[in-house]
Amino acid sequence: MTFITEKNKIYSIYTILYNEYGPQGWWPVDGKYFPENEKPFEIIVGAILTQNTSWQNADRALYNLRQKKLISPQKIICTKIDVLRTLIKPSGYYKQKAARLRAISLFFLKHLKEEVPKREDLLKVTGIGPETADSILLYAFHTPVFVVDAYTKRMFIRLDLVEKDDTYTDIQNIFLNSLPCDHSLFNEYHALIVKQGKEVCRKRPLCSICILRKKKVCSFNFFITGK
Q: Which residues bind DNA (CB under 7 A)?
A: 26-27, 46-47, 50-57, 60, 89-97, 125-133, 135, 139, 149-151, 165, 167, 191, 194, 197-198, 202-204
Tell me how far, at minimum, the Cβ of 153 lies from DNA, in Å: 9
Task: Judge residue 171's burial from the number of C-beta atoms within 10 Å of its C-beta, 0-12 exposed, 13-18 middle, 19 or more buried.
Answer: buried
CA 132 to chain centre: 7
Report CA-CA distances (Å) from 209 to 71, 129, 202, 221.
40, 34, 12, 11
Tell me how far, at minimum, the Cβ of 36 lies from DNA, in Å: 21
Tell me how far, at minimum, the Cβ of 69 lies from DNA, in Å: 21
CB closer to DNA out of 7 and 63 = 63
CB closer to DNA out of 11 and 55 = 55
CB closer to DNA out of 33 and 94 = 94
Tell me how far, at minimum, the Cβ of 134 lies from DNA, in Å: 8
Tell me how far, at minimum, the Cβ of 146 lies from DNA, in Å: 13
Give the integer Cα–Cα distance in Å for 61 and 195.
22
Residue by residue, DSSP assigns 35-98 as: TTSSHHHHHHHHHHHTTTS-HHHHHHHHHHHHHTT--SHHHHHHS-HHHHHHHTGGGS-HHHHH
